[in-house]
Amino acid sequence: GAVVSQHPSWVICKSGTSVKIECRSLDFQATTMFWYRQFPKQSLMLMATSNEGSKATYEQGVEKDKFLINHASLTLSTLTVTSAHPEDSSFYICSALRMTGLNTEAFFGQGTRLTVV
Amino acid sequence: GDSVTQMEGPVTLSEEAFLTINCTYTATGYPSLFWYVQYPGEGLQLLLKATKADDKGSNKGFEATYRKETTSFHLEKGSVQVSDSAVYFCALSGREYGNKLVFGAGTILRVKS
């Protein structure tokens, strides 16, 4: 299957600092990528849809100024958690859509464990 | 809105036991249905999918049939292995949903040897 690489796999940062998470599609181009947040023992919550060359679309209740998304190329989307606080600690997962003909499939990164201290 | 409901876990089974994880959905459109698996410390991987009613998805011994009449997509495996221990997510999506995945809460499966 296709490969999506997410980096870093874990990060610890101090309150008030910003953290950037990268999501790369290694062997296909992805016009659309998604960012999810997963709380312990809970499902994935969609945060935003990242579209190459345009502004991200945020889900209701997600602060766009707090979670900055940039999709500057067809293989890279970044999520920056700005002025992080302990309540932002979570597992963040990206996925990239691969479209081949009529078939569309989502491939997921391995996730980033963010801990804010 | 559209949603997916899964049976709560954890589900604990002995090796070679039969597995069923229930999944039901509510949808206004005609979604595709998916099962994803998340092994410890890893991202999600597509396990199987079905794109229309009565379709059966299958992979690695797992099966699920898209039942429109009962709005269900239950996951089954005839004989589980320790290596099947993971979290299983049922989800729906489709072009009418902007290809966004709507996930169930996930079910932890633990298989004992």
* Interchain pair A111, B42: CB under 8 A: yes
Q: Rounded to whole angstroms, how far apart are CA atoms A92 and B18?
A: 33
H-helix or E-strand spanning residue A20: strand A19-25
For chain A, the maximum distance between any two Cα atoms, rounded to a whole number of angstroms, is 46
For B111, the 3-state DSSP assignment is strand
pLDDT value at residue A100: 85
Nearest Cα to Cα of residue A117 among A10, A2, A23, A30: A10
- Are the Cβ atoms of B46 and A1 closer than 8 angstroms? yes
Alpha helices, DSSP H, located in chain B: none
Q: Work out the average pLDDT over B55-74.
A: 97
Q: What are the pLDDT digits (tens) for A49-70? A: 998 888 999 999 999 999 999 9
More confident residue, B66 or A72: B66
Q: Nearest-CA residue of chain B relative to A4?
A: B43
